[in-house]
Structure 1
Amino acid sequence: MKFKAFPIFFVSFLALGLLGLFLAQSTYLENKGYDISSLQFTKSYVLNAIMALIVFFAIYIFRDKYRDLLGFFFLGGSLLKFALFFIFLYPGFNQDGSLERLEFLVFFVPYGFALVLETFFLVKLLNTV
């Protein structure tokens, strides 16, 4: 993988992976009889995609100047994702007083995919710089 192509590969894998997960998870939930519009489903995927892009490009842009701090950028991005979860998604999930397993998975399936992809590309980036 060429170093200059990292952003193209990351965006491609992120978009295709999240789209595939979105379609698979929404199909599964609809087949089980859940109304995905009431689960903030799309909002969760969009939030995770935007945050993954921000974290990746922050790491990519500052890879030379702040090489020793890239891990902290990564951790800070994860902290920011959780903060945004509690600001934008948790109030809707917690309206009934509890966070159900289904609501948990609506956020953490795309979060987990994006996290694994970010980690993979961060390792590749650190090994090539």
Structure 2
Amino acid sequence: MKIKSFPIVFLTVLFIGMGLLLWAHTTVLENLGHEPFGNQLVASYVMNTVMASLVFFTIYFFRDKYRDLLGFFFLGGSLLKFVVFFIFLYPGYKQDGALERMEFLTFFIPYLFSLFLETYFLVKLLNTVR
């Protein structure tokens, strides 16, 4: 894969993967008798998609100038995702005084998918950069 095609391939895999994962997530929730779009599910998927894109493009644009720091950009992006989670999603989850398992999974399922995807593309990027 050529380095110029990384952004297109990443975004394609990210959007299709998150869409399929959201569909599977809502289907499982519905089959288990839970509200399929409760617990800020769509907001969580959108936030994780936007943050994964932001982290990827930061790494992609600085791949030549700061090659030795790309791992720190990746870790900083993960930290930023948690900060955004605690600012925007966590207050809604904590309204009833407890973080339930469904609320936890609502954030961490798309988070883990985007984390694995970012890791995969970071490794590919580091292996192709001069």
The TM tier, using the shorter chain, reads over 0.9
User: CA-to-partner distance for each residue in 1:105-126, whole Å, 9 max, x for gaps?
Assistant: 0000000000000000000000
Task: Quote the Cα distance in structure 1 between the aligned partners of 2:81 and 2:68.
Answer: 22
User: Which consecutive residues of structure 2, in runs of 5 or more, have no partner in the other structure?
Assistant: none
RMSD after superposition: 0.8
What are the superposed Cα offsets for residues 39-92 of structure 1, whole Å, 9 maximum, x if unpaired?
Answer: 100000000000000000000000000001100100000000000000000011
How many residue pairs get aligned? The number is: 129
**Is residue 71 of structure 2 the alignment partner of residue 71 of structure 1?**
yes
After TM superposition, what 4+ stretches of structure 1 lie above 6 angstroms from structure 2?
none
Amino acid at match of 1:73: F
Task: Name the aligned partner's letter for residue 14 of structure 1.
Answer: L
Q: Secondary structure at the match of 1:39?
A: coil
Give distance in 2, aligned partners of 1:63 and 1:28.
39
* TM-score, length-scaled by structure 1: 0.97
| Gap regions ≥5 residues in structure 1 | none
Q: Is the 2:27–2:36 contact (alpha carbons within 8 Å) kept by the matching residues of 1? A: no
- For the residue of structure 2 that corresponds to 1:36, the secondary structure is coil
Question: 2:110 matched to which residue of 1?
Answer: 110
Give 1:96 shift.
1.0
Offset of residue 34 of structure 1: 1.3
**What is the aligned partner in structure 2 of residue 87 from structure 1?**
87
SS in 2 for 1:64: coil
Asked if 1 retains the 8 angstrom alpha-carbon contact of 2:55 and 2:77, the reply is yes
**2 CA distance for matches of 1:73 and 1:105?**
25
| Distance of 1:69 and 1:44 partners within structure 2 | 28
TM-score (norm: length of structure 2): 0.97
